[in-house]
A and B are shown apart, each in its own frame.
Chain A
Amino acid sequence: MELTKNITLGVYLPGETYIHNLDPRTKIIAAAILITLLLFIKSYLAYAIFLFLIIAILVIATIPPGYAFSGLKPMLPILVLMWLFQLFLYSTPDAEVIVSWWIFSATDAGLHMGNLISMRVLFLFTVTTILTLTTSIVSLTDGLESLLNPLKKIGLPSQELVMTMIIALRFVLILAEELDKIIKAQMARGVAFDRGNFIQKTKSLFPVFLPLFINAFKRAEELIVAMEARSYTGGKGRTKMKTLHMGRVDLFAGLFILLFSALIIYVILIVPPVI
């Protein structure tokens, strides 16, 4: 059970392209806009236009397509299942049956619905992947902190939230390593993780998670003391070493995303939805 190997958090692909060098806030907002647009797209034409944008971004950011979609593999079975569900179960009164087998029948409405939903998931995945591939975790959290800052006025502890995220990111790997150690230690004492039925297997997880949780709390306590010793008293009065700057590229990217949104909204309004 080598757990640590399978954890690829923040799959950042370092680079010096226009996309990489954009302010993280620009990228986060752009991704949010694109995701919102995706929720309203109901025509193949709009998806085709969207595909052009995605390809353009991948080319500019010099991300190998294979790399961009490699994270999709574990999702593929679910995606196919979803497509099949829509195909056979979704129908409208005036739909034409295309295939019929036993008690199942697939209609053209189901086919379109399956296509649209699968494409929506695919594009959502691609947009977020591009964001994390071109933005390091650190600048992502910096961007997020800066974007959440205005919400401090309505009582949201934005700095503390982001600090929690930063610490969580740091401890993911440490805890994964610890889990690995505990599993090996318990195996050495004769806990059999791979034997027995479902209930027995679940029970054998207790001697793993109990020490893990206890250790996590101990670590948290030590970390609090260390942070306090380094003058941490919450977000108040804290400054940042790195201040974010929006440049001309960000303005250009923002304008481009706005134009693109206008185009997509136009297409959504003009082209009748496929179903």
Chain B
Amino acid sequence: MNPLIEVVDLSYSYRAGSGNEVAALKKVNMKVFEGEILAITGRNGSGKSTLARHFNCLLTPVSGSVDIDGLSVSDKTNVASIRRQVGMVFQNPDNQLVSSIVEEDIAFGPENLGLPAEEIRERVNWTLKTLNLKNLQYESLNQLSEGQKQLVAIAGVLAMKPRCIVLDEPTAHLDPRSRREVISNALKLNRDEGITIVLLTHFMEEVTRCDRMLVMDMGEIKMEGTPKEVFDDEEKILSLGLDFPVSAKLADGLRKKGISIPRKTIHAEELITSLCQLK
């Protein structure tokens, strides 16, 4: 697998050069591979949003480099083509939707790309179909639930046909059910359309559904690996202010009671399987 996003020695500070600057990222090195689902987690202010905003040219590195498929984000002439490749979905759907009607909002991105009208129409229809939003096509956004609005926000990014979608805590405002729906749809886009997904989240259940995860703290990457590997280091996870997925906690509790559940059990399905195999 080749890296779609490559971050080398990236440092970033807010209010750089003003005397009271705040270092948000310190010499971060990481890669996002084409076609994977990467979770980035860490407590508030750990720098994960700052990192993610470099992927879409919303921020440019103070030092170090960020390359999207070989294109440097520091070069202003690359901005347009990078934004076509990497789309971004934010936390609050109300503050990222532009138009009042669902299909109009989905068309906003493609319209910005200057595509011909028929192509925009085609993309909007494709997007509505892919995310099962056909029944909401002409709905007013004010009538939708938060979860539906967030799906429309994802649709708006999907219509630009990006190679990678960065989701910045897309489920923070949602109820558990819409949370699952939003995440399942993001995973479906990865599976069916091959879109690389970078998911920033506080929810460990969402992290376990990803291929790989990063844990950030104080502007640095502290842990990296598959969710199974990362959640195995209990002390470090706790020291970074994180929690475990429910299944992992349950497995741990059972293990302490003397029931033999294998280590690195983080998925509910795994736990169920091992419980069923008990005599």
A167 to B97 Cα, complex, angstroms:
9
B94-114 CB contact bits vs A (8 Å, 1 = yes)?
111111110110011111111
Task: Establish whether residues B117 and A231, one from each chain, have CB atoms under 8 Å apart when the complex forms.
Answer: no
CB neighbours (8 Å) of B90 from chain A are 222, 225-226, 229
Task: Establish whether residues A229 and B142, one from each chain, have CB atoms under 8 Å apart when the complex forms.
Answer: no
CB neighbours (8 Å) of A240 from chain B are 111, 117, 120
Stretch touching chain A among B67-75, B81-89, B176-184:
B81-89
Among A138, A167, A222, A242, contact of B98 (Cβ-Cβ < 8 Å): A167
In the assembled complex, A33 has its CB within 8 A of some CB on chain B = no
CB neighbours (8 Å) of A58 from chain B are none
Task: Establish whether residues B111 and A170, one from each chain, have CB atoms under 8 Å apart when the complex forms.
Answer: no
Task: Select from chain B the residue with minimum beta-carbon distance to A163.
Answer: B98
Interface centre among A137, A219, A238 (most CB of B within 10 A): A238
Task: Establish whether residues B58 and A166, one from each chain, have CB atoms under 8 Å apart when the complex forms.
Answer: no
Task: Establish whether residues A222 and B111, one from each chain, have CB atoms under 8 Å apart when the complex forms.
Answer: no
Task: Establish whether residues B95 and A226, one from each chain, have CB atoms under 8 Å apart when the complex forms.
Answer: yes
Task: Establish whether residues A239 and B114, one from each chain, have CB atoms under 8 Å apart when the complex forms.
Answer: yes
CB neighbours (8 Å) of A233 from chain B are 80, 112
In the assembled complex, B156 has its CB within 8 A of some CB on chain A = yes
In the assembled complex, B92 has its CB within 8 A of some CB on chain A = yes
Tell me whether A170 and B116 are in contact in the complex, defined as CB-CB below 8 angstroms, given that A228-B58, A231-B84 are known contacts.
no
CB neighbours (8 Å) of B100 from chain A are 137-138, 166, 169-170
Among A170, A222, A232, A242, contact of B117 (Cβ-Cβ < 8 Å): A242
Tell me whether A229 and B110 are in contact in the complex, defined as CB-CB below 8 angstroms, given that A138-B104, A166-B98, A166-B99 are known contacts.
no
Task: Select from chain B the residue with minimum beta-carbon distance to A170.
Answer: B100
Task: Select from chain A the residue with minimum beta-carbon distance to B108.
Answer: A230
Task: Establish whether residues B98 and A241, one from each chain, have CB atoms under 8 Å apart when the complex forms.
Answer: no
Among A138, A167, A174, A230, contact of B109 (Cβ-Cβ < 8 Å): A230
Seed contacts A230-B160, A232-B112, A239-B111; 14 additional CB < 8 Å A-B pairs = A166-B100, A170-B97, A170-B99, A226-B96, A229-B83, A230-B108, A230-B112, A231-B84, A231-B112, A233-B80, A233-B112, A237-B112, A239-B115, A240-B111
Interface residues in chain A, defined as those with a beta carbon under 8 Å from any beta carbon in chain B:
137-138, 163, 166-167, 169-170, 173-174, 219, 222-223, 225-233, 237-243
The 7 closest A-B pairs by CB, nearest first: A226-B96, A222-B95, A241-B107, A231-B112, A241-B120, A229-B88, A230-B109
